[in-house]
Amino acid sequence: MTITASNDLNEETLDALNKQGHEVNAFGIGTYLVTCYAQAALGVVFKLVEINNQPRIKLSEDVSKVSIPCKKRSYRLYGKEGYPLVDIMTGENEPPPKLGERILCRHPFNESKRAYVVPQQVEELLKCYWPGNSGEKREELPSLKDIRNRCIKQLEQMRPDHMRKLNPTPYKVSVSANLYDFIHFLWLNEAPVGELQ
């Protein structure tokens, strides 16, 4: 068996592990390899969510590191005042949210965090430009200027309390009721069951 360690490893952590003695065969160093500690880094990791049409989930004792399985679609739901209220992820084959129709938005992992939203506008957020081996034609990417302008426009649409520098209100990203149920079904099926003796 090969043991690989990762998760914000740096020089000091490696030195401490070596002094304590370990049986790690490989280290995955990302953030500290490509960024200077004095400069902020966005801690993002690509997680595989599907292999050969089989949904996959990454489990962790830290719930913030559990992945959301399967191919998804993502929508921004706007309220009466024109501001984005919440982003919602759905399964790839779920119907999109409809204008004026109430939809249940759930926190992916906290069952008590949920809200109904009646969107006044629905914007699909993801667009596939490179469909891989699906046989579909690859589309041209927008120019960097167009991408930049879209990002600026998206930020300008946010409520001021989401954008303030001191204590901003967290923007909510949720999942549909169907995706929530699927996440927890897969989680329970993939999680090891302990045995007490």
**Amino acid identity of 104?**
L
C-alpha–C-alpha distance, residues 121 and 80, integer Å: 9
C-alpha–C-alpha distance, residues 100 and 122, integer Å: 10
For the entire predicted model, the pTM comes to 0.76
C-alpha–C-alpha distance, residues 47 and 30, integer Å: 14
For the chain, list the domains and their CATH numbers.
4-35 (no CATH), 72-145+153-190 (3.20.140.10)
Q: Are strands 121-124 and 72-78 parallel, antiparallel or unpaired?
A: antiparallel
pLDDT in tens, the chain (197 residues): 888 888 778 888 888 888 888 888 988 877 666 666 666 666 667 788 889 889 999 888 888 888 899 999 999 999 999 999 999 999 999 999 999 999 999 999 999 999 999 999 999 999 888 877 777 888 899 999 999 999 999 999 999 999 998 999 999 999 999 999 999 999 999 888 889 99
